[in-house]
Amino acid sequence: MRRFSFVMVLCAALVAAAPTDFNPSVWRYWVPLDPPKPGLTGESFARVTLPSSILARALPGLEDLRLVDDSGGAVPYVLIVEGSRQKETRVPVTIVDTGVVPGQYQQLVCDLGQGNAVSNEVQVETASQNFRRRVDILASADRRKWVDLKSGSHIFDSHEEFVFRNLRLVYPETTYRYIELRIWLDGGEPLKITGVRVSRVVRKDVAPEKLPARIVRRQEDPERKATDVYFETDLENPHAEACVLAVTQENFQRGAEIAYRDKEGIWRGAGTGEIYRFKIGNQLEENLRIPLVDFTARACRLRVWNRDSPPLDVVSAVLERLPRVVVFSCNPPKNYRLFFGCSTAQRPSYDLELAVKRLDITDLPRCASGALTANAGFKVREESRPWTERHPALL
């Protein structure tokens, strides 16, 4: 409570000192913000999630957003990409009972001590490279009787075209003292395990919005040993954080990258990742998600590096977008409008960001954005270049 009070006092001071100059004539659009329900009894932080109608018409970097109150003055805000959050608690661990069963598997046992520590994740540390191993995870209270926690997980490392690795093993939350990793050799050599990190990870997920994309062309590149798949979406400025593929094959592991053409027609990288699917019996482990960095292009190219394996059959692609949230200090007697669509706007900088960083915005009161309105007072700016530059032929 004292922490929240401090944030509100800081917020009030920042709002009081905020600049109020705002010229609405250079903004094309605005939307009203409906007040939170139930209504606020006093000034409080509030949030509004930006819909597709705003994201499509604002500048790609969203630097043209301006929040305005009844007085016509600009109101400080913070723009946040609301992603999933996690808290990791490390568990002290001692490695015991390491060994190798020739031709079958290597094992190590993690001793978490006598404190009934809760764990659900192990990160393997290894000096080995270019491998893929199947891992079974077992647990015991006394190192005599073991139970299966999770079978058929995989760890891998690739240092070929790109560097990709996944050494994280996730299993159901447990208080067992001993966690055994049984790493199957499957014809390979034992890994050089240098350590492990055991944790309890609590995740608070935010569901992304799914944005459909359509495949328009596919092309094989024998020289690069790659498949290029071109796809596009109908949305302007999709602001995607990931591309999720649908693939028909099983038991594969490939490097993949997403690129887009800039205004000069040059391909620019937007994200890379490792896609894989391992299915052994009833056990399935896969990752078909390629992370992106605030992707705003409508069309892009997926390149899958096949090496010497047959091309994958990519049948569809979906973009994922996390919520874009505007957080501001809402004063109930006032009404607010959000302006956007100014081609010359620069990103504002407000001290309010210092206060908002202290908040968990998940449960803040929520405003809704109203109907999109064309700004009747919008005026196209005339060129500001000198007359001699605009009419060189007359000189």
Confirm whether 340 is domain-assigned: yes
Question: Which amino acid is it at 318?
Answer: V
- pLDDT attached to residue 40: 83
Asked whether residue 234 falls in the same domain as residue 305, the answer is yes
Asked whether residue 119 falls in the same domain as residue 132, the answer is yes
Helices (H) and strands (E) in the chain, counts: 4, 28
Asked whether residue 95 falls in the same domain as residue 183, the answer is yes
Task: Say whether the peptide bond before residue 332 is cis (omega within 30 degrees of 0).
Answer: no
- pLDDT attached to residue 8: 43
- pLDDT attached to residue 138: 98
Which segments of 205-345 are extended strands (E)? 209-221, 226-232, 240-247, 252-261, 267-280, 283-287, 289-295, 299-305, 314-321, 324-330, 336-340
Asked whether residue 308 falls in the same domain as residue 331, the answer is no
Give dist(CA 189, CA 169) in Å, integer.
20
Confirm whether 313 is domain-assigned: yes
Question: Which amino acid is it at 285?
Answer: E
Q: Which domain holds residue 178?
A: 87-204
Residues 221-249: pLDDT tens digits? 999 999 999 999 999 999 999 999 999 99
pTM of the model: 0.77
Residue carrying the six token digits 């292009």? 297
Residues 169-217: pLDDT tens digits? 999 999 999 999 999 999 999 999 999 999 999 998 899 999 999 999 9
The three-state secondary structure class of 10 is: helix
Give dist(CA 198, CA 139) in Å, integer.
13
The 10 Å Cβ neighbour count of residue 280 is 14
Burial class for 319, CB neighbours closer than 10 Å (0-12, 13-18, 19+): buried
Asked whether residue 54 falls in the same domain as residue 75, the answer is yes
Asked whether residue 65 falls in the same domain as residue 171, the answer is no
Asked whether residue 311 falls in the same domain as residue 219, the answer is yes
Q: How many domains does the chain have?
A: 3
Q: Hey, what are 175's tokens?
A: 């208080």
Contact 196, 95 (CB under 8 A): yes
Asked whether residue 103 falls in the same domain as residue 70, the answer is no
- pLDDT mean over 2-26: 53
User: What's 219's domain CATH number?
Assistant: 2.60.120.260
Asked whether residue 278 falls in the same domain as residue 216, the answer is yes
Asked whether residue 92 falls in the same domain as residue 147, the answer is yes
Please report which confidence band the pLDDT of residue 4 belongs to, taking 50, 70 and 90 as the band edges: very low
Residues 336-382: pLDDT tens digits? 999 999 999 999 999 998 888 888 898 899 999 999 999 998 887 66
Give dist(CA 215, CA 314) in Å, integer.
9
Confirm whether 391 is domain-assigned: no
Asked whether residue 93 falls in the same domain as residue 176, the answer is yes
Question: Which amino acid is it at 89?
Answer: T
Give dist(CA 297, CA 289) in Å, integer.
18
Residues 288-335: pLDDT tens digits? 999 999 899 999 999 999 999 999 999 999 999 999 999 999 998 899
